[in-house]
Amino acid sequence: MTENTIGNAVAVRDSGPEAVVQQYREDLTGALPSHVKGEVWMRLATGALRRDANLRRIASNNPGSLMNALLECARLGHEPASKSFYLVPFGNEIQGIEGYRGVVDRIYRADKIKVVHVEIVYENDVFVWMPGTVDTHQPPRWEGPQQVPYHHADWFSDRGEVKGAFSYGVFHDGTASRIVILNRKYLDKVRKESKGSEGPKSPWVKWYDQMVLKTAAHRLEPWVPTSTEWRKDEPPTATVTQLPPAGAPQLSAGARVEDDDEGPIEAEFVDDEPTSTQWPAAAQPGGAA
């Protein structure tokens, strides 16, 4: 590599989107939760721009959208351009999209939930949710009223098309949160209202299953505590798990969120308009963020 080539590369870096990110270093790191190291986060942000030429090109043309996405990423305490928070080039702007792993991460950070269940239900799966009744589909270990949905899938055969999804959390005392059930009609509505969802580069086209999981995890948020800060010295690894294995303790009745008595566990069957996400205002290059 010649001196001219190196000089040109440095000049582009110093005047490109990386420079904008560095210009707003204080604003970005100031939005980070205490468990995230600012210097490491900044390196990940600029590294993402250098790895993806298309991302960098659009960020150069529209640095405000890049800052908007990065500010949201920082506020939520996620690593930029990771499976928890995606930086997605779309048209002439950068969209910041929290992945389902990011949502589950924030639930675990509050240290109130022991296990998070987020599952997709396919046409050939067996799915039964009959709150307050005894269901004959349940394995023998389940006694009394059904506390959580029963979901059985043949993981090694064709499970058919996506039929819906469900999610719930299990608190440390063994009680379950409210059950959230999403039908296909609702999932299609969420997809339709997502900007550019039918385009070949849309997450709904490239990662449909992940977007369904994220939608189910997001709908669980009102019923479980979440936090941008870790509540433990050693943060656990967020995982999406299946129903408890045979022999696991039965969940007790009476779902609660924090200290609020929700009464008997009820399913929330979602078939309404999704709540719109409020994004921070885009930063303007050369001005205050």
Q: Is the pLDDT of residue 45 over 50?
A: yes
Taking only the tens place, the pLDDT of each residue in 75-108 is 999 999 999 999 988 889 999 999 989 999 999 9
Q: Band the pLDDT of 278: cuts 50, 70, 90.
A: very low
- In this prediction, residues 255-262 reach a mean pLDDT of 29
- pLDDT-derived band at 274 (thresholds 50, 70, 90) equals very low
pLDDT for the residue 147: 77
Rounded to the nearest 10 degrees, what angle do helices 208-220 and 184-193 cross at?
100
- Per DSSP, the residues of 56-118 read HHHHHH-HHHHHHHHHHHHHHTPPTTSSSEEEEEETTEEEEEE-HHHHHHHHHHTT-EEEEEE
pLDDT at 178 over 50: yes
pLDDT reported for residue 194: 86
Q: For position 242, what pLDDT does the model report?
A: 35
Return mean pLDDT, the chain. Answer: 77
